[in-house]
Amino acid sequence: MDDNGGHINTHVGYHYHAATGKTKKVKQTDSHAAMIGYAMDGYGMFELLDEIGKEPLKLDEHRGHYDTIRGYHYHVGPAGGNQFIGSFRGVTGSFTASF
Are 61 and 87 a contacting pair, CB within 8 Å?
A: yes
Q: pLDDT tens digits for 71-82?
A: 999 998 876 665
pLDDT classification of 68: cutoffs 50, 70, 90: very high
**Percent of the chain's residues with pLDDT above 90:** 38
Q: Check whether 60 has a pLDDT greater than 60.
A: yes
Reported as half-sphere exposure (CB side, CA atoms, 13 A), residue 49 has a value of: 8
Contacts of 54 (CB under 8 A, 6+ apart): none
- Write down the pTM of the prediction: 0.75
Are 17 and 5 a contacting pair, CB within 8 Å?
A: yes
Q: How many angstroms separate the CA atoms of 61 and 63, rounded?
A: 6
